[in-house]
Structure 1
Amino acid sequence: MSVVITEISPQYDAKIAEVIKQVGAEFGAIGEGFGPSDPEVEAMSQHYHAYDASRYFIALVNNKVVGGSGIAPFNGSSEVCELRKLFLLPQSRGLGIGKTLTEKCLEYAKSSGYSQCYLDTLHSMTTAIALYELLGFKHLQQPLAGTIHNGCDVWMLKQL
């Protein structure tokens, strides 16, 4: 099995959109207030750029897109970034790909000067939450002000 983590490019936009929507549906993250419904999902490569201190990475297994994750400023902040859209197809879970993607995002966040990383997710995504806890994210009682994902019910923050 060949696993490659690379930055998003236009050739992968349709495939990662498919993954995000499929996995979102699996966990009930459908409609307004959930990441899979964000307009950026249709063209991820157009929304993550060095000039605004954001990146989206995809995971390829045997040259097929199986997931991805990104970092972007939270509400335009230069201090707080957001871990965005970590989604993996079922067959690619349990292989360490989610951890590798998240660590790549966190490395990028640190190198971009962020001091904190925020995320929101769903309580049903227990494996992802366990990963975030393992990587040092702490639970918050409520979302950070300005979050757009009001359908999420778990909020976490990590000091970088």
Structure 2
Amino acid sequence: MSNNNIVIREITLADNIQIAKVIRDVLIEFGVPKVGTAYADASLDCMAETYAKEKSVYFVVTNKGQVIGGAGIAPLDHGEGNICELQKMYFLPEARGLGLGIEMMHKCLAKAKDFGYNSCYLETMPYMDAAKKLYAKVGFECLKKPMGNTGHYSCHVWMIKTL
């Protein structure tokens, strides 16, 4: 796949169906439980509306107009302090290994700083090794317990980064 046709942009209503399918397909690929993870989130089918809220943004990655990945920033639900959460960062196999993950991380974290957040929190699965390496590479550190109330009780790796 050529990087010439790849675009990272903010989500639109027209992207809702595609990004929901991307996220569900990746979660199924990795054997993630359908309960207690992003798979069951009510927001998955209305991502553009969900991230249209204050201090929130979601970016999609497209290739020739087809959504192949995405990631977003939103306030951490029931979090203490000025903390955002990196949410729903998933890429289809054809989007992996192209540097899009690091590019997306930088874009999301820059936006989090613009919004005035002090820290960024995330949750992932223990066996998502590539994701954990990427998060560590940009400065996320592991926590011993979860923060806030994301509803993702099946995610057992919690990380945070000071912005």
The interval holding the TM-score normalised by the smaller chain is over 0.9
2:62 is aligned to: 60
Name stretches of at least 5 consecutive residues in structure 2 with no aligned partner: none
Displacement of 1:67: 0.3
Q: Does 1:142 align with 2:140?
A: no
1:30 to 23, 30, 33: 33
What letter matches 1:53 in structure 2?
K
CA–CA separation in structure 1 for the residues paired with 2:55 and 2:39:
22
CA–CA separation in structure 2 for the residues paired with 1:99 and 1:110:
16
TM-score if structure 1 supplies the norm length?
0.95
CA–CA separation in structure 2 for the residues paired with 1:98 and 1:115:
22
2:73 is aligned to: 71
Displacement of 1:4: 0.4
Superposition RMSD on alpha carbons, in Å?
1.3
- SS of the counterpart of 1:109? helix
- SS of the counterpart of 1:81? strand
1:14 is aligned to: 17
Displacement of 1:29: 2.0
1:121 is aligned to: 124
Q: Aligned runs of 1:98-109 on 2, under 5 Å?
A: 98-109=101-112
Name stretches of at least 5 consecutive residues in structure 1 with no aligned partner: none
What letter matches 1:14 in structure 2?
I
Displacement of 1:65: 0.7
Displacement of 1:128: 0.7
Superposed structure 1 runs of 4+ greater than 3 Å apart: none
Displacement of 1:42: 0.5
1:131 is aligned to: 134
Displacement of 1:28: 1.9
Percentage of matched positions with identical amino acids:
40
Q: How many residue pairs end up in the alignment? A: 159
CA–CA separation in structure 1 for the residues paired with 2:55 and 2:78:
10
Displacement of 1:145: 3.9
| Range with greater deviation from structure 2 (31-40 or 110-119) | 31-40
Contact 2:125-2:155 within 8 A present in 1 as well:
yes
CA–CA separation in structure 2 for the residues paired with 1:134 and 1:3:
23
CA–CA separation in structure 2 for the residues paired with 1:151 and 1:65:
26
What letter matches 1:92 in structure 2?
A
Contact 2:78-2:149 within 8 A present in 1 as well:
no
CA–CA separation in structure 1 for the residues paired with 2:63 and 2:123:
26
2:44 is aligned to: 41
